[in-house]
Structure 1
Amino acid sequence: MKAVILAGGSGTRLFPLSRKKFPKQFLNLGDSESLFQKTVKRNLKALKDINDVIIITNNDYQFHVKNQLKDIFNNKLNLILEPVGRNTAPAIALAIKYAFEKLGVGENEILFVSPSDHLISPDDKFAEYIKEAEKLAKKGYIVTFGVNPTKPETGYGYIEAGDLAENAYKVKQFHEKPNLKTAQKYLMAGNYYWNSGMFAFSIETILEEFKKFVPEIYEKIENSSFEEVIKDFENMPDISIDYAVMEKTDKAVVLPLNIIWSDVGSWDSVYDVLDKDENQNVKIGNIIDIDTKNSLIMGEDRLIATIGVDSLMVIETSDAIVVAKKGQGQQIKNLVSLLKNNSQTKELTEFHKTVYRPWGSYTELEKGERYRIKKIVVNPGEQLSLQLHYHRSEHWIVVKGTAKVVLGDEKGNLKEFFIHENESTYVPKSTKHRLINPGKIPLELIEVQVGEYVEEDDIIRFNDKYKRV
């Protein structure tokens, strides 16, 4: 069995913590591990080897994936980069093609497909459910995992179960997210389950259903190599596996999960799954609470003090604070839409103050009309591109580590030299330069940019280790 982990989603439902360029799956929610890392480790409990994990993401997120998994995978990462997002059905088809050509599997291979941004526990019990789903999939079923509902939730889709089939139930019908009255009816009926978005099937079975219901996907992977499918991926239909296959097939069964599960799709969901104190508060960060109850308070940089509040959600980052009444977490999508439609706030939905790059990260400390100050961290052995800027000069001051600097002279020749802690160098406008960390520890430096234009698009790359030229 192979596990296919979908890690390309770009949702901002947990703004201001999640942004388009740093989405939910890579967040740590009061823990030392991200949701993505938890997903990989959880799946490994049901698999034989790390080489049985296939991860699908995109170019923007590949370095998040690699950095978060470097201690697990080393150089054995099965990573597929989608050139464009085309929803879950094309992503699964691409994983099948990869498994055929790169891993040498046959059509009897079982695939377990899961998102990368869910919270599930306990891991051992979930591994048992995966093994049970594998047995069902070997018998020709397409298994979807349904979570036993604990409340009339309006934020999830539902699966209506029919007759018993082995240790699962035939899927009678899929239902979209209901209103409260309908959700209450589902809860009372007893045969409705939350749709977890996880599946298990044999490659042979899912290909038969692709051929029957979405021949435009089947033909592309049947008649092309993996590289050709990647090249033509933008012409794949934009359709989910639910719409493409699950709602049409007669082979679908739902396996009920009696465990803790959440798609962590809102701040209300975050509150529900995290540990609470004696006043039913979730507190993460530097928090002082007085007469505060039933609240979620998360801080990143600053002290947050609450007095006499009840059922409140406060989320603080270095560049934004969101305050909401509990139960209104779904309104975050409306907030993000407002921010996106305003040119002065649009960037907030894209990036944090800290922006991750393949070589490390930078954090904006301050920005003015003609200047910008950053803290730059370059990981050991990594390097920035050979580049120049037409509109700004840069001054680098090393705080920690050793920097190898490549700098052009007046004749255009490149020279190399080293600067160490508490040393600095100057990069004039229109001068080729490169920053390298040759050491064993992260290189940290302060960069002061000065010029008539200090935005990120004033960059000309000549050579780049990460193929961004």
Structure 2
Amino acid sequence: MKIVILCGGNGTRLWPISREDMPKQFNKIFGTSSLFQETLLRNQKLFEISEAIFEVVSNQNYLFLLKDQAQEIQQNISSFILESCPKNTAPAITLSALNSKPDDILLVLPSDHLIKNHQEYITDVIKAIDMAKKDFLVTFGIKPLSPHTGYGYIQSSNGIVKKFIEKPDLKTAKDFLHSGNYYWNSGMFCFKAKTFLSELQHYTPEVFNNISEIFKNTPKEKDYLRLSEQQSKTIPSISIDYALMEKSKKVFCVESTFDWNDIGSFDSLSEEFIKPNSCYTNPTKTIQYESNNNFILSEKMVATIGIHDLIVIDTIDSLLLTKRGESQKVKDIIPLIKKDFPQLTQQHNITHRPWGTYSILLESKNYKIKKIVVKPNARLSLQKHFHRNEHWIVVSGTAHITLENQNFELHTNESTYIPMGKIHRLANEGKIDLVMIEIQMGEYLGEDDIVRIEDDFKRC
């Protein structure tokens, strides 16, 4: 059995918390574990029931995040399928099916869902596995608790699927709720690899043929299937529902009642903090005077006077204000933000890299001050800059410095100067994090002023 985790989305509807370099599935929104880590942990129980492995389909830029977060919770990912750009669920699942043995059972899961009653979930997964062994394409429908307009629906009776429905308006969603035979479409699936591929070839041969040709011509590394940018551009962007599930006659729905949330908007996120007996506490300190029904996330204390039904999301560099019920529209303003402030859709104040993190403490036209954290046994690329000089100060740990033909160490409260145009490298050969302050001075301080001469992570 293979547990296939789809982990390539950007989570734009949760901006400014979710950004391209650190999307929502990797954020620890609820405390100690990210949504991706929670997905690994709740499926670990399946390893006791059946021989199982994890395979992740994701953007190649997230590989170091995937490995770091899996290692942090001591979970092993057996294989990775790496895309250079996201192309929706049908191509991702097809690649995984082609990368499997014909009789392998695939349990396909998004990486950004929240499921709390794990035993009910495992019970329904076992039911899905049994139906998959009978050559059904199994989907999971979630019994609706409210007339939600942000989810697609499945009309199902005793597992027999009648139709899939796109996100409805409020009146239609209320009718679905009262009817009793409509379920939220969870985007989770279970089937044999050969059953899926056979049905896809029959109903959407152009997608099957395209992905099959790309798979055949992609070199296989030990644990990786890595698609080139040129290959990725030729892949059609299509969901598994459109490509297959809405067409096949072999679809079976496991009608589920476990507590499920796809955290697809700030309205959905806010529900997790107000549910009865919720184990999640909103960390924001607020004083709300003559105000009610507001959801506020901020690192600061927030005081309100006379406001109602608002969602307020405050980060160091961006502030989002929206009415409750309107937060699905966040994705619609992303192109506008990207046009004028592209960095705010790409990076958090803390930027994650394969070797560690950096955060910008202060920035002006001719200088930038960063805090750099380098993980043990990690190092930055051997590089140089054409437009800036750098000053490095060690806060904690030991820095191993390469500067042209010199190699030397810096300890706490020691510093060095990196002149413009000189080849240099920063490394941490110790057992604890290396924490540095970097002061950049120059006429241009963009991150693209890096010429990499040698890099452990094969970046350009």
TM-score in terms of structure 1 length: 0.90
Per-residue deviation, 1:11: 2.3
1:224 equivalent in alignment to 2:222: no
Q: In the alignment, what sits opposite 1:214?
A: 204
Compared CA separation, residues 79 and 184, structure 1 to 2 (3 A): same
Q: In the alignment, what sits opposite 2:458?
A: 467
Compared CA separation, residues 47 and 221, structure 1 to 2 (3 A): farther
- Give ranges in structure 2 of 5+ residues lacking alignment: none
In 1: Cα distance, 2:301 partner to 2:189 partner: 43
CA-to-aligned-CA distance 1:222-265 (integer Å, 9 cap, x gap): 78265278354432322111111101100001111101111111
In 1: Cα distance, 2:275 partner to 2:189 partner: 32
In 2: Cα distance, 1:67 partner to 1:51 partner: 21
Q: In the alignment, what sits opposite 2:269?
A: 270
Alignment of structure 1 residues 164-313 onto 2, 5 Å: 164=158, 169-219=159-209, 220-221=211-212, 224=216, 227=219, 230-231=227-228, 232-275=231-274, 283-290=282-289, 292-300=291-299, 302-313=300-311
Q: In the alignment, what sits opposite 1:329?
A: 327
In 2: Cα distance, 1:277 partner to 1:145 partner: 25
Give aligned pairs, total: 448
2:99 aligned counterpart, secondary structure: helix
2:391 aligned counterpart, secondary structure: strand
Q: In the alignment, what sits opposite 1:453?
A: 444
User: RMSD in angstroms over aligned alpha carbons?
Assistant: 2.2
Q: Aligned letter for 2:3? A: A
1:401 equivalent in alignment to 2:401: no
Q: Aligned letter for 1:95? A: S
Contact kept in structure 2, 1:289 and 1:307, CA below 8 Å = yes
Q: In the alignment, what sits opposite 2:150?
A: 155
Contact kept in structure 2, 1:394 and 1:450, CA below 8 Å = yes
CA-to-aligned-CA distance 1:352-380 (integer Å, 9 cap, x gap): 11111110111011111111111111111
Q: Aligned letter for 1:87? A: N
State which of 120, 123, 126 in structure 1 corresponds to 2:115: 120
In 1: Cα distance, 2:24 partner to 2:456 partner: 28
Q: In the alignment, what sits opposite 2:40?
A: 40
Deviates most, 218-227 or 66-75: 218-227
1:341 aligned counterpart, secondary structure: helix
Per-residue deviation, 1:27: 1.4
Q: Aligned letter for 2:185? A: N
Alignment of structure 1 residues 12-161 onto 2, 5 Å: 12-48=12-48, 52-73=53-74, 77-99=78-100, 106-161=101-156
Per-residue deviation, 1:215: 2.2
Contact kept in structure 1, 2:53 and 2:78, CA below 8 Å = no
In 1: Cα distance, 2:237 partner to 2:427 partner: 41
In 2: Cα distance, 1:291 partner to 1:68 partner: 42
In 1: Cα distance, 2:289 partner to 2:93 partner: 50
Per-residue deviation, 1:94: 1.3
TM-score in terms of structure 2 length: 0.92
Q: Aligned letter for 1:53? A: F
In 2: Cα distance, 1:213 partner to 1:460 partner: 48
Contact kept in structure 1, 2:89 and 2:240, CA below 8 Å = yes
Q: In the alignment, what sits opposite 1:411?
A: none
State which of 433, 438, 448 in structure 1 corresponds to 2:424: 433
CA-to-aligned-CA distance 1:390-433 (integer Å, 9 cap, x gap): 0000000011111000001xxxxx21100011000000000000
Deviates most, 56-65 or 370-379: 56-65
